[in-house]
Structure 1
Amino acid sequence: MAVNNGLPFDVSSTEYPAVLSLACVDTILYLGSSVGLFASDDHDASWTAVDLGVTSGTGGVRIQSVASFETNLFAGTGDQYNTNGIGILLSADAGQHWLSVGVSNTELTALASCGPAVFAGTYLAGALYTTLDGGSVWDFTNDSIGDTYVTKMAVNGSVAFAGTFSSGVFVSENYGQTWTRRNQGLSDLYITALAAGDNMVYAGTMYGKVFSSDNNGITWTELVSDLPGVESLAAGGGYIYAGTYDGVYGSSDNGLHWTHMDANIADKRILSLIITGETVLAGTEIGGVYISYDHGGYWTHASGVISSSGVYAFAMRGSSVFAGTDPEGVYQSTDNGAHWSKINTGLTLTNVRALTLDETNIYAGTNGKGVWARSLDEVVGVKEHGSDFSGVHVYPNPAKDQLNIELDNFENTELEIMGMDGRFIRRISLRSPETRIDLTNMASGIYAMSIKNKQGSTVRRFIKQ
């Protein structure tokens, strides 16, 4: 017997939704179809569409499989071609609320780490995922960003930013629990680049505009409006860099004037940028990584990254810089980008489009197979405490207005403070065994502090309250 009450069947049409799976939890029957999940509590006399909290494509989420275990209901979405899929979903309350327990079969556009949270933006409308446990469970119930999709993400202290296609910038100040749209002053809502540096946040757009905000996006100021389409941004040490369809543009006066950089990189599409101290790295669509030691005045090609790879993302921890490439996976450099080597162990899909790091893992967002994580303990050269470095005391931690550094061997010691997203904050040359660092102008959040001298190097983390 065919009972279609409530199902989206059009008897006048020759196209019927495919019934792909069935499962029962207590007295409720669940039906997975090519256009969504449906439930019946009256022995299939009538059916009600189950709200999964997000859509995929124009025809709804494809429920390829449905299974139950005790009171838990699992829904597997998409197919082998990633058609209308949003990964594996779990509901513990008869379908009222859903969690993603794996961001799989999904094209990732952006990743960011903020305090205990890691965020993953995707091409799916409204799907901005959040995990608070290192990626075991992802929550995608973020209705506040509407039906747009996330293009880029950035973090300024403890504040997270999500740039979207056509809806501007969304901000979260509570680790992704809620997102608020902040577009005052933005005359172009097609956000294609975001960056934080020098206590500022910058947004680049598809139509060549760059905006800045000194109050976490409450208001925005236009800096430039006539660049080629902006693909990437980086800021720090008094400099702003914009990667475009036509090379790199830079400003050393807070965005008042912009210069088209060296001809070696002028005609290349710049997908990613990062500042590591005095060094600037640029990831290209075709050509690998370029490196500049003089604030973008002259660029040279870095060795080790396949020239045919698109370098879509950078991330940094201590003395290690990571590059996410498509199709060659993840590379690591321990010499500020001059040389690179692959670290793809366990990464079965190497089409990497986004990268971020938290306290324990490096996360790689892929083009079609979700987020992959690898422990930083497995990556050579990424340690919080250098094995050859001793006699360092950092206190208080957390700190409010002042951080104290005590160092037994302080001669020729350089200290760099960086945000957890890799942005350069400040450099200090230590002149005595005890140094006090003023934190009053720094945003609240987690920071990394790299300490280097002839004894070696170490990275310590501290929290600014």
Structure 2
Amino acid sequence: MKHINIFLSLIILIVFCTVDVHLSLSQWTQSNNGLGNSIVNSFAIKGNIIFAGAYGSGVFLTTNYGENWTQTTKIENEPLVSSLATNSNNIYAGTLWYGLYLSTDNGANWIQTSFSNASVYALAVNENSIFAANNSVYVSTNNGANWTLRGLTTSQVLSLAVNGNYIFAGTQNSGVFASSNNGMNWSQTSLDNETIYSIAINGSNIYAAAGPHLYLSTNNGINWSQTSLNYQHIISIAVSGTNLFAGSNTFGVYVSSNNGIDWTQRNDGLGNLNIEAFCIINNYIFAATNSHSVYRRPLNELLAIVPLTNVLPVSYSLSQNYPNPFNPVTKIRFDIAGSSVTQTFLTVYDLLGREVSVLVNQNLKPGTFEVDFNASNYPSGVFYYRLTAGDYSETKKMILVK
């Protein structure tokens, strides 16, 4: 029996030592098969289809979550696609200088709408209304056949977002404007002297990316507070549940799980740190970059962990996951001890020792933390999870039963 135990221990040791080589695989990976190194700066989703707008290359689509991309029929004049939106079967492509194009067959054919010979910096959809922004805001209620000017003629409008009856417009140098009647009237919010590159909404939370600062409003723009992410040149935002993603044009991707109070930079694997746009679908997050096309990463690899207490642990420890067995989500709690920041990894492996997911890969201060492992995309079976922090390492087993 002693020889058997030694033999099994050696197998486990060899497996997990071998897996160390693959830690770098849990990172952003380039999703550019068919895209090349296009400059991509906009996304739109229609069902399980992702559309990507590229400068000078038109619109691409993927039906398998970025495994490969296909160029749709070229838009006349091969314009720079600056914005995308979908509404039912309609796909709208806003361009620089050539206006707005419409496709009703997933890009097999494009027609130029009557909004032509102008740049379209942003698009938004509210039920049957499509809003297009350049030096003002226009609206169409008949799929782009006709357009009506809806004000904001004092500044370039760079971003649009819809929240119920409210429409928000981010402008150059004049902050955020809001309308509560489908754009008939606009009022300037208290965020009134910044250039707003992107707006994202999650419930009552409205986020505005203003380059040096990222702002939050919880009352439809009446008041704004500055998040802790400052001077990072933020130009794109995305939200998923309680998680917030911010893209910089210089410093890559930042992640927050508490409405912008705390942030973690997550750039491992990114070949370009100019993040133009995000797209979240099917537990993946996509990042559009300025010169390296699109990158993709499993969403659960980026979600920030949750600190549970301010009491400092006296030792490192890894708790048994709960519930166990589980389906499909389980929680893993661990303690980080010491007096300084520690590079920490929490990694999940399958029964053969193959890396499944990296739940944590960041510098952590001493404390007690908890992270979710979502196994929705994995079959039933035995998994191992290992905590590595400094010289400390511990592995435990968990069972997924579907």
TM-score per shorter chain, which class?
0.5 to 0.7
Inter-CA distance 163–238: structure 2 relative to 1 (3 Å threshold): same
Give the superposition deviation at 1:386.
6.2
User: Which amino acid counterpart does residue 335 of structure 1 have in structure 2?
Assistant: N
| TM-score normalised by structure 1 residue count | 0.55
User: Which amino acid counterpart does residue 177 of structure 1 have in structure 2?
Assistant: A
| Partner of residue 202, structure 1 | 131
In the aligned structure 1, how far is the partner of 2:102 from the partner of 2:245? Answer: 26
**Counterpart selection for 2:201 from 275, 283, 306:** 275
Identity of aligned residues (%): 31
**Counterpart selection for 1:232 from 159, 167, 171:** 159
Give matches, 1:61-100, under 5 Å.
none
| TM-score normalised by structure 2 residue count | 0.63
User: Which amino acid counterpart does residue 111 of structure 2 have in structure 1?
Assistant: T
Give matches, 1:1-12, under 5 Å.
none
In the aligned structure 1, how far is the partner of 2:47 from the partner of 2:132? Answer: 22
**Counterpart selection for 1:121 from 21, 28, 53:** 53
Give the superposition deviation at 1:314.
2.1
Q: How far does the alpha carbon of each residue in 1:363-396 deviate from its partner, in whole angstroms, 9 at most, with x for none?
A: 11111111111122423379x97658xxxxxxxx
| Partner of residue 407, structure 1 | none
| Partner of residue 296, structure 1 | 221
Give the superposition deviation at 1:141.
4.6
Provide the aligned C-alpha RMSD in A. Answer: 3.0
In the aligned structure 1, how far is the partner of 2:209 from the partner of 2:47? Answer: 27
In the aligned structure 2, how far is the partner of 1:222 from the partner of 1:251? Answer: 14
User: Which amino acid counterpart does residue 251 of structure 1 have in structure 2?
Assistant: S
Inter-CA distance 105–225: structure 2 relative to 1 (3 Å threshold): same
| Partner of residue 365, structure 1 | 288
In the aligned structure 1, how far is the partner of 2:263 from the partner of 2:220? Answer: 21
Figure out how many residues of one structure are paired with residues of the other and give that number.
283
In the aligned structure 2, how far is the partner of 1:387 from the partner of 1:354? Answer: 31
In the aligned structure 1, how far is the partner of 2:265 from the partner of 2:235? Answer: 15
In the aligned structure 1, how far is the partner of 2:199 from the partner of 2:37? Answer: 27
| Partner of residue 374, structure 1 | 297
Greater RCO (Cα-Cα under 8 Å, separation 6 or more): 2
Give the superposition deviation at 1:101.
2.6
**Counterpart selection for 2:42 from 110, 117, 121:** 110
In the aligned structure 1, how far is the partner of 2:246 from the partner of 2:126? Answer: 19
User: Which amino acid counterpart does residue 273 of structure 1 have in structure 2?
Assistant: I
| Partner of residue 317, structure 1 | 240
| Partner of residue 139, structure 1 | 70
- In structure 1, the residue corresponding to 2:277 is in which secondary structure? strand
Contact in 2 for aligned 1:152/1:194 (Cα 8 Å): yes
In the aligned structure 2, how far is the partner of 1:172 from the partner of 1:333? Answer: 36
**Counterpart selection for 2:182 from 254, 265, 283:** 254
**Counterpart selection for 2:106 from 170, 175, 181:** 175
In the aligned structure 2, how far is the partner of 1:179 from the partner of 1:132? Answer: 19
Unaligned stretches of 5+ residues in structure 1: 1-86, 89-99, 389-455, 461-465
Inter-CA distance 198–331: structure 2 relative to 1 (3 Å threshold): farther
Contact in 1 for aligned 2:82/2:95 (Cα 8 Å): yes
- In structure 1, the residue corresponding to 2:150 is in which secondary structure? strand
Give the superposition deviation at 1:294.
1.4
Q: How far does the alpha carbon of each residue in 1:301-360 deviate from its partner, in whole angstroms, 9 at most, with x for none?
A: 111x2x232322222333323222211212223334444332323223221111112224
Inter-CA distance 188–167: structure 2 relative to 1 (3 Å threshold): closer
Inter-CA distance 138–145: structure 2 relative to 1 (3 Å threshold): farther
Contact in 1 for aligned 2:250/2:274 (Cα 8 Å): yes
| Partner of residue 149, structure 1 | 80
Inter-CA distance 312–145: structure 2 relative to 1 (3 Å threshold): farther
Give matches, 1:369-448, under 5 Å.
369-380=292-303
Greater shift after overlay, 242-251 or 370-379? 370-379
In the aligned structure 2, how far is the partner of 1:386 from the partner of 1:260? Answer: 43
Q: How far does the alpha carbon of each residue in 1:102-146 deviate from its partner, in whole angstroms, 9 at most, with x for none?
A: 43433222122222322222222x432222222232222522343
User: Which amino acid counterpart does residue 254 of structure 1 have in structure 2?
Assistant: N
